[in-house]
Structure 1
């Protein structure tokens, strides 16, 4: 109830505001008659004080002090019955109240205080009952909205029911729903304040959303009345339950996804109709081409509780990035490893960059480990082959670095890895051997390596014209995709030819 509402009651039709311009929007929570000495001792904020002035002093200075004492206790308004003990409201008291914006009201003596108190309290009770009834209706509407599983529907329902802007915010203060919302920095600061109760923000009310003891964000609504506060609290509870259901669903889906990805990685995927349907539901294309990627966490084994939590955060971030890039979140975890499948169209570098940004924003750590990935292969069999390939790369994963199969091929070959040696030889010699005149091309490269890539000397050793040599070199570059004037390519050719000679 506001003071203006009080003045609109029939029982107060003859009341008069003594000092114009005071705040008539002040809230009235209770009406109380006080006619005892030291009346200010019985005054509390937002109380409508009714008095005959029986115990008021008569000296101007004492009246001024009385008015100042009353104003300090911040009543909603002070009502004086006139004329009897005072012919009019003392200007000393009215002026002191008006200085604080508190209305001073004159009420005719023949209007019973009991009637004023009764009318005021009936209005307050009706208003409170209306608020309770509306808040219950809003709570039911919010509960129905939650069945859609969308936070946006909860915010839209809250806004529609109140006729005011409303928004759901994350823990950083950013809006999770469309429409008007407070400044993220101010919202984050308000959420960080201790306690779980409503707090004012940007002309409205912010209620934190608590989930399992953790503050996950908040509900903001324009306005700070009882209805707005109650409705925001209802919405915060509904949002917390919705988030809890979403988290539990994500955990179940992740576990189902882990099991499915494990069957692919371990070569246990069957081609029956049930497996095919499950693959389609989870977003795996049995005819598609995928790279197997591995995030090796910088966490010692066996994992500590913090290590397990770190692994789950890393896996969650990988799922988010894959989803944002339009790829199915095909992820699995084991020990300190996070495995995932990348469709050939998705750049490993882009996944790595986005994931690092997320880790840095969440934990202040640009990466919880190093990432390696293999070559693109087709189908379920290709995934199993890719896992075996990537397992050999795990030892080369360095914290904060992204490394491909090709980047670690030479170190692996030099360390005696037979598979790496065969891949290195095959990557350079196989395209030549499959081409017409391939043996002549290999002989040409061998002559170049033996002469330090001195073309005239190599041509003389081969007994061919210089133009013929350059033609053969162009064909070698076209078939392998590697320029022969690159020092790294020349080193690779020398190593590949040496390894090929050992296995001949």
Structure 2
């Protein structure tokens, strides 16, 4: 309750504020008390609404000033003097001393019974406390129900709805985990880094750390809840932080279980079953998967026949453990899954397969007892993972123990063996950049002429009826568009093969 609320009570409608606009009417009233005994200041406690007739007050100006100063040090919420009787008006000496401490002084008509003011004040305070408890209980129940949904976004949404304020759940790095107004991540990260678990102000609001197993896993931020009068909002945020920690704990336990049962999350990505479900996105964040990043799908193929024997399962788990350790040491999330004699894993575009293979050290083993590794091309987004799996699955037959092979390395053998997908990829990689370029038909004709003449430039230029400089200009454009040097014998063979496949594709049956 504040002084402004006291002035709104029916018993105080005729009360007048002595200091006028300079009075602090937001001071908190904890109780109302009538004090008319000598040394009245000795009976006052902080937050007391002091009602008095002034019967025991001194009359001399100097004594009134000292009395006002003693009273101000006790920190009453306000002082109400009944007038006129013992004083015709509030003594200016006392009012001035109280005003220096921001304590309002009020004049109440003598005929208003103090008992009505006390009764109405305490009824207001008790009702406010009851309302406060009822609202706190309502928030508690709502957050508990939200926890049953199993999603952090439900907790943030429920708290925001209950408080009528913006609420954000933050990760340890300060980034928001839920789509809502949030403070600057850099400031949030600094606030979370402060020691302790107590609420701390942040960006005009209050941040409550989320602590799980002694570690900060983020925080709950409530906008505009930094002032002391917002105690309810702060306690609600603390309860939300506890609920969030419990949900995170359940998610971590579930993730451990999923890893034991088959690395379900990575399987969801590989099989194209990743959806917009917020719980999957929260799990992706926790596991270190960037839904907007580009990833390369890679595969370790263990030697040995199927079905796996007990020693085969042990070898697979050992290899999977080594792989997880290698990925972690290179700063990548260990996004791994196992199936039969296959160990699937995802590489962020920033980490090459060669670095992982070198870290594993199997190329130096020189034995048929270590896995072979194949990997595809980096593809963006969640859909790219499923596409990469299909691509790499076709490479599994080319995985040799102790060897690392890329999609590009086995493209030609696959194309020659009749793999239509490989043939299409080979033609796309070489011919498509020329087809879509300006003058693409002339560029393809140039490559054809070079292949037909054994890359003899003079003969190719004569066949095309162009000047040698024009031929060299076209060759430079072809190399720039495809990224392949025409002087490389391997590239010349690929061009010849791509043109042959293209001719077969366009020739009538």
Q: TM-score, normalised by structure 1?
A: 0.58
What is aligned with 1:24? 25
Q: CA deviation at 1:184?
A: 3.5
Q: CA deviation at 1:106?
A: 1.7
What is aligned with 1:246? 251
Q: CA deviation at 1:130?
A: 0.7
Q: CA-to-partner distance for each residue in 1:257-279, whole Å, 9 max, x for gaps?
A: 34998xxxxxxxxxxxxxxxxx6
Aligned partners of 1:383 and 1:432: how far apart in 2? 14
What is aligned with 2:241? 236
Q: Judging changes above 3 Å, is the alpha-carbon distance between structure 1 residues 167 and 35 closer, same or farther for their aligned structure 2 residues?
A: farther
Q: CA deviation at 1:160?
A: 1.8
Q: Does 1:3 align with 2:3?
A: yes
What is aligned with 2:198? 197
Q: CA deviation at 1:255?
A: 2.8
Aligned partners of 1:114 and 1:386: how far apart in 2? 95
Q: CA deviation at 1:185?
A: 4.0
Q: Judging changes above 3 Å, is the alpha-carbon distance between structure 1 residues 137 and 330 closer, same or farther for their aligned structure 2 residues?
A: farther
What is aligned with 1:137? 138
Q: CA-to-partner distance for each residue in 1:296-347, whole Å, 9 max, x for gaps?
A: xxxxxxxxxxxxxxxxxxx9889533644487999984143457579xxx99
Matches within 5 A, 1:449-464: none
Q: CA-to-partner distance for each residue in 1:165-206, whole Å, 9 max, x for gaps?
A: 222223333332233333434444444444433344444333
Greater shift in the superposed pair: 249-258 or 326-335: 326-335
Aligned partners of 1:430 and 1:248: how far apart in 2? 43
Aligned partners of 2:16 and 2:134: how far apart in 1? 34
Q: Judging changes above 3 Å, is the alpha-carbon distance between structure 1 residues 211 and 161 closer, same or farther for their aligned structure 2 residues?
A: same
Aligned partners of 2:165 and 2:414: how far apart in 1? 70
Gaps of 5+ in 2: 273-282, 300-316, 328-333, 338-344, 362-372, 377-388, 419-451, 461-477, 492-509
Q: Does 1:283 align with 2:270?
A: yes
Contact 2:296 2:348 in 1 (8 A): no
Matches within 5 A, 1:92-111: 92-111=93-112
Aligned partners of 1:170 and 1:484: how far apart in 2? 51
Contact 2:297 2:375 in 1 (8 A): no
Aligned partners of 2:244 and 2:215: how far apart in 1? 13
Q: CA deviation at 1:133?
A: 0.9
Gaps of 5+ in 1: 262-278, 286-314, 357-366, 394-403, 408-422, 435-466, 490-504
Q: CA deviation at 1:126?
A: 0.8
Q: CA deviation at 1:16?
A: 1.7
Contact 1:330 1:341 in 2 (8 A): no
Contact 1:320 1:329 in 2 (8 A): no
Aligned with residue 289 of structure 2, among 297, 321, 337:
321
Q: CA deviation at 1:246?
A: 2.0
Count, aligned residues: 367
Aligned partners of 1:211 and 1:9: how far apart in 2? 47
Q: Secondary structure at the match of 2:210?
A: strand
Q: CA deviation at 1:129?
A: 0.7
Aligned partners of 1:104 and 1:54: how far apart in 2? 17
What is aligned with 2:341? none
Contact 2:4 2:26 in 1 (8 A): yes
